[in-house]
Amino acid sequence: MDMPTAYRSRLIDAGLLIPTGVDGLFGRSGTFESIYDGVDQAVTAVGAGAGAEVMRFPPAMAQATFEKTGYMKNFPHFAGTVHCFCGDERSHQKLIGRMDRGETWTDEQEPADLVLTPAACYAVYPVLAKRGPLGDGGHMVDVSSYCFRHEPSQEPTRMQLFRMREYVRIGTEAQVIDFRGSWIERGKAFADALALPYEVDVANDPFFGRAGKFMASSQREQALKFELLIPVNDGAGPTACLSFNYHQTYFGDNWDIRTPDGAPAHTACIAFGMERIVLALFKHHGFDVAAWPAEVRSALALR
Ligand code: AMP
Ligand code: ZN
């Protein structure tokens, strides 16, 4: 067996992941979801006392909002757009005929003005922009949504649809830089509490194309992104389970979000890849949840 897929096979054989026939698209068992719920409340505990405003979003966003994020410039290869049938009865008959004959039928679907959400924090910026200038303390949001990225893979940690939970800080440069520094420590404490081995390293996003190479190296040089990496897949490098991103004034400029003195806001986010954390827990503590270390069970509020 191909080494990187060994863990995938074990997860499927144990019924924790339910294959759908599409790489990176899985159902999950009750046991998997009970650990997911434990991780979710542990992530809530990470933000205790921070006064974050809770926002939850569906897995799609308005096309106009998506366009403003600039995502198609940097990651066109990951994006998924939603298209629907908008025709009359004649075109419906034509569509059914093409389907029956096994022909392509999706090319006549029309845009539904929706795009699948690529990152949970993208939904937050337009909401804050509408509220006008920030207060003196800036703002903090606890956001989550399903996210889509078209990156089919045999690695169980690389899904096409997965859940992302984020804390997003919006404010002055000093407020946001302070947040990112101190929340990297909170992220490490989170992994310690779950008894997961990790390393934190500077990282870059997989920007598209030749211009993307420059974007990636500039992101690394300026240390705008860090990741907390945990070994999960057999025979492969460690997997980014948390990421810490400093966007400078990119979203503040894009959305015209301003600090009280009228300057564009700085933003940063800490993102938890929820399924990846669950998969890391099964990898390091085994499939018998009852036998997990007491402190891990306690951090996950398992009874
Ligand atoms: P990113 O915006 O790429 O930093 O992603 C935020 C977090 O989501 C990462 O730290 C990962 O834990 C998680 N993530 C990213 N891509 C995937 C994927 N394809 N499947 C599962 N989790 C992912
Ligand atoms: Zn984010």
Tens of pLDDT, residue by residue over 72-98, are: 999 999 999 999 999 999 999 999 999
CA–CA distance, 27 with 135 (Å, rounded to integer) = 42
Q: Which residues line ligand 1 (CB under 6 A)?
A: 119, 149, 151, 157-159, 162, 164, 240-243, 271, 273, 275-276
The pLDDT-based confidence of 215 (bands split at 50, 70, 90) is very high
Q: Is the pLDDT of residue 148 over 70?
A: yes
Q: Is the backbone of residue 15 left (phi > 0), alpha (psi -120 to 50) or beta?
A: left
CA–CA distance, 122 with 120 (Å, rounded to integer) = 6
The structure's pTM equals: 0.97
Residue among 162, 242, 279 to mutate when testing ligand 1 (max atoms within 8 A of CB): 162
Specify the pLDDT at position 5: 83
Closest atom of ligand 1 relative to the 242 alpha carbon: 10
Q: Using CA positions, which residue lies closest to atom 22 of ligand 1? A: 273
Closest atom of ligand 1 relative to the 203 alpha carbon: 4
- DSSP per residue, 35-62: HHHHHHHHHHHHTTTS-PEEEE--SEEE
Average pLDDT over residues 55-61: 98
Three-state secondary structure string covering 91-106: HHHHHHHHHHCCCCCH
Closest atom of ligand 1 relative to the 241 alpha carbon: 12
Closest by Cα among 86, 126, 164 to 251: 126
Q: Is the pLDDT of residue 130 over 80?
A: yes
Q: How far is the CA of 227 from the centre of ligand 1 (A)?
A: 10
Q: Using CA positions, which residue lies closest to atom 14 of ligand 1? A: 273
CA–CA distance, 187 with 273 (Å, rounded to integer) = 12
The pLDDT-based confidence of 27 (bands split at 50, 70, 90) is very high
199, 123, 219, 269 alpha-carbon torsion, rounded to 10°: -40
Q: Is the backbone of residue 286 left (phi > 0), alpha (psi -120 to 50) or beta?
A: left
Q: Is the pLDDT of residue 9 over 80?
A: yes
Q: How far is the CA of 79 from the centre of ligand 1 (A)?
A: 14
Sequence-distant (6+) residues with CB within 8 A of 247 are: 224, 266, 267, 268, 269
Q: Using CA positions, which residue lies closest to atom 9 of ligand 1? A: 273
What is the strand order of the sheet 110-116 is part of?
60-62, 110-116, 81-84
Q: Which helix (H) or strand (E) holds 145?
A: strand 139-148
Q: How far apart are the first and last CA of the chain?
A: 37
Question: What angle is formed at CA 244 by the lines to CA 282 and CA 28, rounded to 5 degrees?
Answer: 30
**Amino acid, res. 208:** F
CB 127, CB 55: distance < 8 Å: yes
Residue with token string 């974050």? 52
Q: Is the pLDDT of residue 3 over 90?
A: no
CA–CA distance, 89 with 23 (Å, rounded to integer) = 35
Average pLDDT over residues 127-154: 97
Of all ligands present, the nearest one to the C-alpha of 204 is 1
